[in-house]
Amino acid sequence: MGTPIVIAKKTEDTTQDIVLHSQLANRHGLIAGATGTGKTVTLKVLAESFSRIGVPVFLADAKGDVSSLAKAGESNLKLDERMKNLNIQSIPFEASPVMFWDLFGKQGHPIRTTVSEIGPLLLAQMLNLNDTQESVLSAVFRIADDQGLLLIDIKDLKAMLSYVSEHAADFKAEYGNLSPASLGAIQRNLLALADQGGDQFFGEPALDLMDFLQTDSQGHGNINLLAADKLMNTPKLYATFLLWMLSELFEQLPEVGDLDKPKLVFFFDEAHLLFDNASPALKEKIEQVVRLIRSKGVGIYFVTQNPLGLPESVLGQLGNRIQHALRAFTPKDQKAVKAAADTFRANPEFKVDQVITELAVGEALISCLDEKGIPQIVERGWIMPPHSSFNPISLDERQALMKQSIMAGIYEQSVDRESAHEILQNKVAERQQQAQKAELAKQQAREQERLAREQHKEAERATKQRAKLINDTVGTFAKTAARSLGGSTGQKIVRGLLGSLFGRK
Ligand SMILES: Nc1ncnc2c1ncn2[C@@H]1O[C@H](COP(=O)(O)OP(=O)(O)OP(=O)(O)O)[C@@H](O)[C@H]1O
Ligand SMILES: [Mg+2]
């Protein structure tokens, strides 16, 4: 038996509730509507409702306004009037247990993962690679695997890419053509990603996704809030990161039967970013993850201005739908309105496409699955007021909550263990050392040779000098002797003198 979550009051008759059944919350959902129509407030109402029944939530805070979940609401004139209209006596204002996360480590506990966990497909998406470059990147991952080189951070991948570039010819037979142009493009885009903050995101300690599945001491599900304001400037990084989380959750969570309530609910704000320029392979993967993840007890709620930004195959899987107002100024708008209206099970009481354009702020067209899992007839309703505040928390309040958090200190300090970068650096250092040794040996050999040559020359010079000396001495002496002895005797004396002269040496 699940719990009915009251999300709205029927506009026609505010004594009647519109509910979302917790046991069907893993059949995914959609929150759509033009800007300023109440999507974020609806997201908050859903998130805190899930939290209250003990379901942990993950959501991205695109504008910083969802942080208000961490602060209890307060009454004000506007709200009091709305409550009166909705037949609500009072609201138990309270804060939800919020855990702050931030890829950049500033507005929340840092989130990191390793390059190898992201894998070549998602990384290719992050790096904006074409098909050829993507297959080269896959080969680089395979080479790293085969050589036992760990790819943890961007430094590792950079080192790996240079290593593969240097040895592309050796790898060709086994891994195919690793063209310098493709490797160069990957290296360049990697630098850009590092500049966008990727260098902080890739590293260790890597996030343990099970940390997102916690409840607090009261049994309320933690709301894991990702600061995404800065991240939104780099849509690729944002979309790929969330996708990575989904696929990891899918891989790590066990298959579960029908549950009373989901294990985790995941809100995907600005959901169209997921699909903008996504490769067909990636789109297929997203559709597949969305389809299969519900059997792991995870519900995904897409939040977007225009539902047509989502592929039909995904849209068709979203069982619980909340459609806020859409504008119908241009023919393109009108087409979007018509398409959004057509996704609902019609209500004979009103024309859906007309009502979509007339909805007030905080009002929506809603169709959730009934207890049998069948889409209910679309109803027009006022979204319930949130129990949390309408005002975002201050930086000081955020810091205080982060300090108190049970996650404080676990992920703050990054560690850099030995991986591809260090190993390849060592290899290079080793090679350099060997080259230095060889160079030294060569120099020594040259020096010895030079010395030998000099000694030889010296000896020659000495010989010549001696010879000259002898010559001079013998010359004078012999001449005198020969002169005095005359004839052949003179010759003998010369030989004898020469012998004794050399013998003195
Ligand atoms: N259910 C509600 N109850 C009371 N007030 C609401 C409700 N929904 C919206 N509002 C009011 O409308 C304002 C705008 O709503 P919200 O921020 O949810 O719009 P949005 O659709 O998320 O806009 P954007 O696309 O710009 O993010 C809120 O700040 C609040 O004052
Ligand atoms: Mg919003």
Distance 422 CA to ligand 2 centre (A): 44
- Give the ligand with the smallest distance to the CA of 86: 1
Closest ligand 1 atom, residue 305 Cα = 25
Order of strands, sheet of 379-383, starting from the edge strand that comes earlier in the sequence: 17-21, 4-10, 379-383, 363-367, 320-323, 29-32, 298-304, 264-268, 57-61, 223-227, 98-102, 109-110
Per-residue pLDDT of the chain in tens (505 residues, 90 and over written 9): 899 999 999 999 999 999 999 999 999 999 999 999 999 999 999 999 999 999 999 999 888 899 999 999 999 999 999 999 998 989 999 999 999 999 888 899 999 999 999 999 889 988 989 999 999 999 999 999 999 999 999 999 999 999 999 999 999 999 999 999 999 999 999 999 998 888 888 998 888 999 999 999 999 999 999 998 888 888 888 888 888 898 899 999 999 988 999 999 999 888 888 888 777 877 888 899 999 999 999 999 999 998 888 998 999 999 999 999 999 999 999 999 999 999 999 999 999 999 999 999 999 999 999 999 999 999 999 999 999 999 999 999 999 998 888 887 788 878 888 888 888 888 878 888 888 898 999 999 999 999 999 999 988 888 888 777 767 765 555 555 444 444 444 444 343 444 444 443 3
For the record, the structure tokens of 392 come out as 């975002």
Quote the pLDDT of residue 302: 95
Give whole-number Cα distances, 165 to 173, 350, 421, in Å. 15, 65, 15
Distance 323 CA to ligand 2 centre (A): 13
Nearest C-alpha to atom 2 of ligand 1 is from which residue? 362
Task: Measure the CA–CA gap between 426 and 302, rounded to whole angstroms.
Answer: 47
The answer for residues whose C-beta is within 8 angstroms of residue 11's C-beta and 6 or more apart is: 363, 380, 381, 382
The percent of the chain in helix, strand and coil, each rounded to the nearest 5, is 55, 15, 35
Kindly report each contact of residues 250-256 with a partner whose C-beta sits within 8 Å and lies 24 or more positions away, as own/partner.
250/289, 250/292, 250/293, 250/296, 250/298, 252/209, 252/210, 253/296, 253/297, 253/298, 254/296, 255/295, 255/296, 256/295, 256/296, 256/297
- Give the ligand with the smallest distance to the CA of 46: 1
**Ligand 1 touching residue 33 (CB < 6 A):** yes
Per the CB < 8 A criterion, the answer to whether 317 and 271 are in contact is no
Quote the pLDDT of residue 477: 52
Task: Measure the CA–CA gap between 141 and 279, rounded to whole angstroms.
Answer: 19
Give whole-number Cα distances, 376 to 65, 182, 338, 379, in Å. 31, 52, 19, 8
3-class SS at 311? coil
Distance 62 CA to ligand 2 centre (A): 8
Distance 30 CA to ligand 2 centre (A): 14
Cis before 331? omega within 30: no
Nearest C-alpha to atom 1 of ligand 1 is from which residue? 362
**Ligand 1 touching residue 383 (CB < 6 A):** yes
Quote the pLDDT of residue 252: 92
Per the CB < 8 A criterion, the answer to whether 171 and 143 are in contact is yes
Nearest C-alpha to atom 31 of ligand 1 is from which residue? 390
Q: What is the best residue among 9, 41, 74 to mutate for testing ligand 1's pocket, by most ligand atoms within 8 Å of CB? A: 41
Nearest C-alpha to atom 5 of ligand 1 is from which residue? 362
Quote the pLDDT of residue 370: 94
**Ligand 1 touching residue 406 (CB < 6 A):** no
Give the rounded distance of the alpha carbon of 138 from its chain centre: 16
**Ligand 1 touching residue 291 (CB < 6 A):** no
Distance 40 CA to ligand 2 centre (A): 4
Distance 308 CA to ligand 2 centre (A): 18
Give the other-Cβ count within 10 Å of 95's Cβ. 18
Q: What is the best residue among 9, 14, 35, 40 to mutate for testing ligand 1's pocket, by most ligand atoms within 8 Å of CB? A: 40
**Ligand 1 touching residue 386 (CB < 6 A):** no
**Ligand 1 touching residue 78 (CB < 6 A):** no
Closest ligand 1 atom, residue 42 Cα = 1
Task: Measure the CA–CA gap between 457 and 21, rounded to whole angstroms.
Answer: 103
**Ligand 1 touching residue 40 (CB < 6 A):** yes
- Give the ligand with the smallest distance to the CA of 68: 1
Closest ligand 1 atom, residue 44 Cα = 18
Distance 128 CA to ligand 1 centre (A): 34
Task: Measure the CA–CA gap between 86 and 80, rounded to whole angstroms.
Answer: 10
For tokens 């955020």, the residue is 398
Distance 269 CA to ligand 2 centre (A): 8
Distance 386 CA to ligand 1 centre (A): 11
Q: What is the best residue among 361, 384, 389 to mutate for testing ligand 1's pocket, by most ligand atoms within 8 Å of CB? A: 361
Task: Measure the CA–CA gap between 212 and 99, rounded to whole angstroms.
Answer: 9
**Ligand 1 touching residue 160 (CB < 6 A):** no
